[in-house]
């Protein structure tokens, strides 16, 4: 997977946009960025597409803009000249795929069958679109094809919405989902970009799925930690789970045997995808304590603390299991 695809994966959602008015392109792109999704696929289904891509790439350089519904090599050339960084097609056209790969253009062609997927692998692709996703079998289908195609990754598009988004993103062979629910054509036509920003933020938070896990209490030593844990368990009937570095009173309170990060202690928040969460916070200029990062044997991030305390507490993210 190339660096551009890794970036798309870190965003998780690719808004699929149909623009009829060029004048709406830049404010729409800014609304998506403000909402936490600096990426867009502008479909080549309207006469405004090419110029819209040009204006977005020029005036909103922070957004990763691509061209969708690309059906010909001529459209590929026009899209790339306008500033498109990636090409998306609804089906698998070997001529378009071959042309893009020969010219170093990132292409995400549509697939809906094992034959399409085999053709993609034969041409050297490792990421494809799955379209139309819901009508072609949905997340259950993608789970099934992960067996015969273990290295192929997908970007499902078509019928993906706020309700089923995380069904797809929970699959290890899905890198991101294409969707249009946050860029409703009526909202674009009305120029209601504040509402688009609101829905986009809602989509991102839904995707990340933040949940409170536990609060940590700093103690000066093992004896104090044991006393605090016992008292909490006696008071509330929690189960006392003793550990080497800390004890747990139930599942919601961690009692540390020596002072760690945070003047008062720490708060743990769990997320559906810690790498996407880290990207989300970095886009908002919220930093991390890189020395605190915990990774598994495969190098995947499992936990990391934020750089700054809040109310005397250090906060850290945990990857949901």
Cite the active site residues: 41, 129
Name the residue among 239, 246, 284 with its Cα closest to residue 266. Answer: 246
DSSP letter assigned to residue 261: S
* Cα–Cα distance, 81 to 309 (Å, whole number): 46
User: E strands along the chain, which residues?
Assistant: 13-17, 39-43, 64-68, 86-88, 106-108, 110-111, 127-130, 153-156, 177-179, 211-218, 240-241, 246-249, 253-256, 265-271, 288-295, 301-306, 313-319
Joined together, the tokens standing for residue 60 give 């909103």
Joined together, the tokens standing for residue 42 give 């502008």
Exposure on the CB side of residue 186, measured as CA atoms within 13 A: 1
* Cα–Cα distance, 134 to 34 (Å, whole number): 29
User: E strands along 86-147, which residues?
Assistant: 86-88, 106-108, 110-111, 127-130
Residue 39 · residue 8 · CB < 8 Å? yes
Joined together, the tokens standing for residue 17 give 């946009």
Paired residues of 67 in beta bridges: 42, 87
Residue 212 · residue 180 · CB < 8 Å? no
**What are the phi and psi torsion angles at 152 (to 5°)?**
-85, 130
* Residue 251 Ramachandran class (φ > 0 left, ψ -120 to 50 alpha, else beta): alpha
């Amino acid at each position: 997977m190339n660096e551009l695809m890794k970036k798309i994966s870190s965003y998780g959602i690719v808004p699929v946009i149909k623009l009829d008015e060029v004048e709406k392109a830049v404010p729409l792109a800014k609304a998506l960025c403000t909402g936490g999704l600096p990426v867009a696929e502008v479909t080549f289904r309207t006469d405004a597409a090419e110029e819209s891509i040009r204006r977005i790439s020029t005036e909103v350089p922070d957004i990763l803009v691509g061209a969708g519904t690309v059906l010909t090599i001529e459209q590929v050339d026009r899209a790339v000249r306008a500033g498109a960084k990636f090409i998306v097609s609804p089906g698998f056209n070997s001529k378009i795929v071959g042309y893009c790969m020969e010219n170093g253009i990132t292409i995400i062609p549509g697939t809906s069958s094992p034959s399409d997927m085999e053709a993609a692998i034969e041409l050297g692709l490792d990421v494809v679109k799955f379209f139309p996703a819901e009508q072609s079998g949905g997340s259950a289908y993608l789970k099934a094809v992960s067996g015969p195609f273990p290295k192929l990754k997908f970007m499902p598009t078509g019928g993906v919405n706020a309700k089923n988004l995380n069904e797809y993103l929970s699959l290890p062979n899905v890198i991101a989902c294409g969707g249009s629910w946050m860029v409703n054509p009526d909202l674009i036509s009305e120029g209601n970009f504040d509402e688009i920003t609101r829905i986009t933020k809602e989509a991102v938070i839904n995707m990340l799925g933040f949940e409170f896990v536990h609060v940590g209490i700093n103690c000066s030593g093992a004896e104090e930690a044991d006393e605090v844990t016992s008292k909490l368990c006696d008071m509330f009937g929690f189960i006392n789970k003793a550990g080497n570095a800390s004890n747990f009173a139930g599942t919601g309170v961690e009692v540390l045997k020596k002072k760690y990060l945070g003047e008062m202690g720490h708060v743990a928040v769990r997320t559906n995808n810690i790498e996407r969460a880290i990207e989300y916070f970095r886009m908002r200029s919220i930093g991390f304590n890189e020395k605190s990062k915990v990774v598994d044997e495969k190098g995947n991030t499992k936990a990391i603390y934020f750089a700054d305390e809040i109310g005397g507490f250090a906060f850290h993210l945990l990857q949901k299991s």
